[in-house]
């Protein structure tokens, strides 16, 4: 799939919210303001009849300097208006609006929000923990980018055993737009054809990330997509869209 060329305002949070509101109006998704974080309103998007099981969870923008993630998630939604209402979706379009506006990995207090998912004091993460504690997820997808990335790659937590082939098919879909990262070691972890399968018993020393929280708490399939943030933005967006599309194939 080829997305139409456009001029991105990828760090304009107000513009991001406006576009999500239009998507919800056209698709029947529900969008609501849940709280204010660092003087920015934060929003949750979900299917109108969201059940408590088999939910597909999306989040983007927890690192504000990774704007390809927020644009990629939005572009996927824009290209699937006709079927969004029928999908069991829970979406957080931007977890760190202050960081997005200021092109910062961290929040306004200098904290990496993707390392504080164990007993977090952050009000947005607290909301998500409370909102999701009794829900059952089929798949959790976190969209990210990597400043040092040499191509696309993903994380799929694993306790061992024989993994499914879904990660491989996701990488294949993304490679139509950006090559798979050739590195054999990424962030000090073994990578094979762009796939990193970290053991839950070996979390990042800085703290528990979003994906690991969901994997441990909800025992669900979890993917973290990574595109190289120094590559062309439109290609990064297309790669994210392709990876999301492959989830539903």
For every residue of 153-212, DSSP letters joined together read: EEE----SS---SHHHHHHHHHTTTSPBP--SEETTEE-BTTEE---TTS--TT---HHH
pLDDT of residue 50: 86
pLDDT of residue 235: 97
Give dist(CA 123, CA 135) in Å, integer. Answer: 19
Taking the complete model, does pTM exceed 0.85, yes or no?
Answer: yes
Domain ranges (residues) in the chain = 13-247
Q: Could you give the dihedral angle defined by the CA atoms of residues 123, 128, 130 and 135, in that order, rounded to the nearest 10 degrees?
A: 180
pLDDT of residue 51: 85
Tell me what the mean pLDDT of segment 106-112 comes to.
97
pLDDT-derived band at 90, boundaries 50, 70, 90? very high
pLDDT of residue 2: 43
Phi and psi, residue 115, nearest 5°: -130, 15
pLDDT at 190 over 60: yes
**Segment 141-153, tens digit of pLDDT:** 999 999 999 999 9
The single-letter DSSP state of residue 152 is B
Tell me what the mean pLDDT of segment 86-93 comes to.
96
pLDDT of residue 161: 63
pLDDT of residue 7: 59
Give dist(CA 47, CA 55) in Å, integer. Answer: 10
Q: What is the mean pLDDT of the chain?
A: 94
- Asked if residues 207 and 116 have their Cβ atoms less than 8 Å apart, the reply is yes
pLDDT-derived band at 129, boundaries 50, 70, 90? very high
pLDDT at 1 over 60: no
**Segment 43-85, tens digit of pLDDT:** 999 998 788 889 999 999 999 999 999 999 999 999 999 999 9
**Segment 30-50, tens digit of pLDDT:** 999 999 999 999 999 999 878
Spell out a b/e string for 182-202, using b for 16 or more CB atoms within 10 Å of the CB, else e. Answer: eeeebeeeebeebbbbbeeee
Q: What percent of the chain has pLDDT over 90?
A: 88
In CATH, the number for domain 13-247 is 3.40.630.10
Sheet containing 40-46: give its strands across. Answer: 30-37, 40-46, 89-92, 55-60, 137-146, 221-228, 153-155, 195-196
pLDDT at 166 over 60: yes
Give dist(CA 14, CA 21) in Å, integer. Answer: 11
Residue 179 CB burial class (10 angstroms; 0-12, 13-18, ≥19): middle
């Amino acid at each position: 799939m080829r997305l139409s060329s456009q001029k991105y305002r990828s760090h304009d949070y107000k513009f991001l919210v406006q576009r999500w509101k239009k998507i919800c109006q056209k698709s029947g998704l529900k969008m609501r303001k849940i709280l204010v974080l660092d003087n920015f309103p934060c929003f949750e998007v979900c299917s109108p009849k969201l059940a408590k099981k088999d939910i597909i969870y999306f989040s983007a923008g927890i690192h504000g300097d990774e704007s390809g993630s927020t644009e990629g998630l939005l572009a996927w939604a824009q290209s699937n208006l006709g079927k969004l209402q029928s999908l069991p979706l829970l979406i957080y379009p931007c977890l760190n609006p202050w960081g997005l506006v200021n092109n910062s990995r961290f929040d306004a207090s200098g904290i990496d929000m993707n390392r504080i998912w164990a007993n977090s004091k952050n009000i947005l993460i607290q909301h998500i923990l409370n909102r999701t504690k009794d829900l059952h997820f089929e798949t959790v997808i976190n969209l990210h980018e990597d400043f040092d990335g040499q191509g696309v790659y993903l994380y799929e937590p694993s306790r061992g055993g024989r993994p499914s082939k879904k990660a491989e098919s996701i990488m294949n879909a993304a490679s139509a737009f950006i090559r798979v990262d050739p590195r054999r070691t990424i962030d000090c972890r073994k990578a094979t054809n762009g796939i990193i399968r970290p053991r839950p018993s070996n979390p990042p020393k800085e703290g528990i990330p979003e994906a690991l929280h969901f994997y441990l708490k909800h025992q669900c399939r979890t993917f973290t997509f990574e595109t190289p943030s120094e590559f062309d933005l439109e290609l990064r967006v297309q790669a994210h869209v392709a990876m999301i599309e492959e989830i539903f194939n």
